[in-house]
Structure 1
Amino acid sequence: MEASMIGLWDTTGNEVVKALAAERRSAGGVASGLALTLISVVEEKKVREAEAAATIAAAAHPCRLLIVVRSDLEGRSRLDAEIVVGGRLGPAEAVVMRMYGRLALHAESVVMPLLAPDVPVVSWWHEEPPNMIANDFLGVVADRRITDSAQAPDPVAALRQRAIDYAPGDTDLTWTRITLWRTLVAGAFDTAEARVTGARIVAPQHDPTAWLMLGWLKSRLGIEPVLEHTDRAPRMHSVELQCANGDFVRVTREEGTALFSRTGQEDRYMPLPKRPVGDELAEELRRLDADQIYADALGAMAGVPDLDKRNPMRVHVWKDPALAARAASAAA
């Protein structure tokens, strides 16, 4: 089916709601049976990238995609919108909203009427994650919140901030990126008998996946893994477990595959591909409850205990970045 698309420039929220309803009627069954509403907060240069990722995720989870792009907080308030139903998005429908001026600080006034009825809401930041999710109403309204610490200037510091700011229902794509690693390491215990006494992770210093792997091993095994930094690999290179009887288990990344080594056994190669963001997003959309194992790993990594015992209900804390910037400028 060809895509049904319409553009609205310098429009209003009511006009966007009416146009979306009209496009859905035109698309017919393609836009029926939505499983969730996915709100994506994106910077301008990543809009098409977010659409592509959502298209992959929508193959498993048909959704209404609401992309929010905030720009020029000091300018005149204006809303531009692009509506796409079906076509290149597959079983999904999207509204790309570019908000300017003070309207960008109140994105929820436009987004709330566009939420699909009677389905869960997921917020996904495809940009540098917010310092405090409660400052963004688009995070407060969501049942599940997905960030990506790898997009921050200091990914490890951003991951630690996710622990400070954590509420049940939060997750980070850094965690999703070690799913295959965790599967390979956990599989080694199917026939293991000796207790694990130590672990060594080799990775670049600022690789957040290595730090989450460290937290996962620490929380699951009660050990203190050693993180060995290297500049010879762009991502986490290897994970090695040492057992009480002197045996070891090692998983080493080698160009899309993993070399699995174990004492007394022949080396084996297993798939370890770098997955597209859409696959990672689809994995996180499979569950809408709190991920306790992620909370344990994040807390162990950051030294913040009992994350899973926090209140899952977030309360919006209003913050005006424009006023904060003016105050800082005046103080300077």
Structure 2
Amino acid sequence: MATSSHVPVLLDRVVSLLTPALDRPGAVLVDATLGLGGHSEAVLSRIDAARVVGVDRDPQALELASRRLAPYGARFTAVHAVYDEIAEVLADLDLPAVDGVLFDLGVSSMQLDVRERGFAYAEDAPLDMRMDGTSGLTAADVLNTYAAAELARILKEYGEERFARKIAAAVVREREREPFATSGRLVELLYAEIPAPARRTGGHPAKRTFQALRMEVNDELAVLRRAMPAAIDAVNVGGRVVVESYHSLEDRLVKQAFTAATRSDVPEDLPFVPEGHEPALRLVTRGSEKAGPEEIADNPRAASVRLRAIERVREGGAAA
């Protein structure tokens, strides 16, 4: 089991980006990917004015984070929801708008550490991978029912797996003999199908396939595509949306949403922007920020992080 000693990636930088938006009476942060509550704890302990609404689709994460953040009393509210449901969450809490929204995307350390969840490839475990274990397809369902072409597409698109078609064909062949149930058998197949020279570079040979299955099972890109405009629309003037992503497709979606939100609505060939037509939001980070070598050495997960932030500077300008 993961413990509260786990330090989130780029924690100090994330808090510094949120502080200008939250350091005022009554400020509210939506921690849209609560996990074990590391970011929320840092905000609550360092910014006295802030209140946090912690959202997670994982009931186990909500329970653990709620226990951890209990000392903050009414300043913390836990909500079981998926992070594209921000508008509904705020409506239920009678919050017309908030001052910050934070996303730390991908799988949490707790999910990786609990063997039965099936996220990790290091030991044999049930092929589940659902962030909310109460509903939806499991990774085993995907492996045992998807056509070879669809499996190959998922592995190539979400996992950037060079041998996607070869692996998909082997999965379809092997499931006829016996359906997939545990991670160990899948890892064995991957070792057999990925050529030895390729296995020696790029980390564990199962890493890309497991990432792809997790993203498919949890519909992560579609959820993110809906969540970005919802988060941007939810923040007050002076409010910020901060996003940590760990996959190139995630970062691309975030970049596209932020670019659209900071674009003026006047024709590009107009020599000036008329008053009242300035963009309603501005980029806070220049491009995406990355972790430094020291943090990457301490926490290898930080190697792939891309951090972006946006701020609302005036009313209007609903996200596309």
Q: Do these two structures clear the TM 0.5 threshold for a shared fold by scoring above it?
A: no
TM-score (norm 2): 0.28
Greater fraction of residues in helix: 2
TM-score (norm 1): 0.27
